[in-house]
Amino acid sequence: MTIDVCTKNLKIGGTVVMKTLSGTMEKDAYRMFKVYFKEFLRVKPRASRSRSSELYYLGKGYGLSKEYEMFKKLEEKKEVNKF
């Protein structure tokens, strides 16, 4: 999944643009990605036909959101509790 590519390749503060299709899973994906980025937007290009389900996500500020900081702290606690 794209979030794996982001977590392995983006530096803190990085930016990503990705194409997706609207549908039942799209809203869940949007909420998940939004945690990782300070600014996360849905973008529908003007050149895209209105009936087309394509849209793009634009994520800026990877790893800089408050939610991401909380997520990382929880992950760290899980690692400590494993031992």
67-81 confidence digits (pLDDT tens): 888 888 888 877 777
Which phi and psi angles does 16 have, rounded to 5°? -140, 145
Q: What is the pLDDT of residue 51?
A: 87
CATH number at residue 23: 3.40.50.150
pTM of the model: 0.76
Q: How far apart are the first and last CA of the chain?
A: 29
- Counting the structural domains of the chain, the total is 1
| Tens of pLDDT, residues 11-47 | 999 999 999 988 888 888 899 899 999 999 999 888 8
* Bigger pLDDT: 1 vs 49: 49
* Host domain of residue 59: 2-82
Q: Strand 15-21 relative to strand 37-43: parallel, antiparallel, unpaired?
A: unpaired
Mean pLDDT of 42-59: 90
